[in-house]
């Protein structure tokens, strides 16, 4: 626990989820008061975790281990059949572009997001995207949904899901 008047658990999420975005494979960094084996920690967390949260894996880190950082994140978004053709065309145009500039209205900043979109494709009825996590120019999955002309679907029950976080210095996965 942290020190002070309002002690809190010392935990942080590698990359916070946006409001209204579901997360299926999240990464959390947690400091513990005593040492546990991975198996014992998994058992205790599973016994004391609220319904709907499943502990998949634990890696014990030392005090010398650098802070865990996300390299990229995978997202998916359902696309109904009537939007499939135009979405494929828009994906093709976006991915073929050398750059794609957007303006962040709060900071009045223009950023080129194209190079930060690592993968973008339609897989049956799912839009899948892998976005680089960067401190310099963050691509929001909602940016891509808007660019592809799918923003109105968010208001009709379609929701965004982050399916995976790729950590730095971990084996890269191909899809």
Query: 149-166 pLDDT, tens per residue?
Result: 999 987 777 889 999 999
pLDDT digit string, tens, across residues 12-24: 777 778 888 888 8
- Domain that residue 142 falls in: 70-167
Average pLDDT over residues 67-91: 93
45-55 mean pLDDT: 86
* Residue 23 lies inside a defined structural domain of this protein: no
Domain presence at residue 147: yes
Q: What is the pTM of this model?
A: 0.83
Alpha helices in the chain (DSSP H): 38-48, 84-96, 141-147
Q: Considering the domain boundaries, does residue 163 fall inside one?
A: yes
Number of domains comprising the chain: 1
Is position 16 within any domain?
A: no
Pick from 13, 152, 139: nearest CA to 83: 152
Smallest CA-to-CA distance from 45 within 61, 166, 37 is with 37
CATH number at residue 156: 3.30.70
Is residue 120 one of the residues assigned to a domain? yes
Query: Is residue 4 in a domain?
Result: no
On the question of pLDDT at 131 being above 90, the answer is: yes
Residue 170 has a pLDDT of 52
Distance CA 120, CA 107 (A): 27
Domain contains 26:
no
CA pair distance 74, 142, nearest whole angstrom: 13
151 C-beta neighbours (distance < 10 Å), count = 12
Residue 55 confidence class, pLDDT cut points 50, 70, 90:
confident
pLDDT score at 137: 66
21-40 pLDDT, tens digit each: 888 888 888 888 888 888 89
């Amino acid at each position: 626990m942290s020190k002070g008047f309002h002690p809190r658990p010392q935990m942080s999420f590698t990359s916070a989820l946006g409001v209204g975005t579901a997360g299926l494979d999240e990464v959390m960094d947690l400091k513990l008061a005593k040492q546990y084996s991975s198996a014992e920690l998994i058992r205790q967390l599973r016994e004391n975790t609220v319904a709907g949260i499943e502990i998949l894996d634990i890696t014990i880190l030392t005090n010398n281990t650098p802070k865990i950082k996300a390299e990229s994140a995978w997202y998916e978004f359902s696309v109904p059949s009537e939007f499939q053709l135009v979405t494929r065309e828009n994906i093709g145009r976006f991915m073929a572009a050398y750059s794609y500039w957007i303006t962040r209205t709060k900071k009045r900043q223009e950023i080129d997001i194209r190079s930060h979109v690592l993968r973008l494709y339609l897989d049956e009825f799912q839009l899948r995207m892998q976005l680089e996590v960067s401190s310099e120019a963050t691509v929001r999955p909602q940016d891509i949904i808007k660019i592809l002309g799918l923003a109105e679907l968010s208001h009709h029950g379609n929701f965004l899901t982050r399916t995976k976080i790729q950590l730095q210095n971990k084996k890269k996965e191909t899809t």
